[in-house]
A = this chain, B = another copy of it.
Amino acid sequence: MARVVVEVMPKPEILDPQGKAVAGALPRLGFTGFTGVRQGRRFELEVDGAPDEETLEQARKAATEVLSNPVIEDVVSVHWAQES
C-alpha cells in the first residue's frame, strides 16, 4: 500500500498561536536551542494500487483545494512516503 504525504504550514505572515505556545514552552523545559516554532499539518493519503504520477497529481490538487486553506496556509510538500 502506497501513501502520499502532504505537508501544510501556516503562511509566514500569519500568526501561529500554537507555534508561539510551543516556542514559549521549550526554553522553560530546558530546550534552549530554538528561536522560533511554527506548527502546521501533515497528512497521509492511502492509495490502493501502484504509486503513479496521476495519483500524485490528484493529491497535489486535493492538497490545495481540500487539505489546506490557501488564505492562511501553504502546501510545502506533496510526495510519496518512503515505505517502511
Give chain A's interface residues, CB within 8 Å of chain B. 4, 7-9, 19, 22, 25-26, 29, 31, 33-48, 54-55, 58-59, 61-62, 65-67
Q: How many copies does the complex hold?
A: 2
Name the residue among A43, A46, A47 with the largest chain B CB count within 10 angstroms. Answer: A43
> In the complex, A33 Cα to B66 Cα: how many Å?
14
Interface of A is mostly: mixed
**Cβ distance A55 to chain B, nearest Cβ, rounded Å:** 5
The chain B residue sitting closest to A77, CB to CB, is B42
The chain B residue sitting closest to A40, CB to CB, is B42
The chain B residue sitting closest to A84, CB to CB, is B76
Could you tell me if A37 and B29 are in contact, using CB atoms closer than 8 angstroms? no
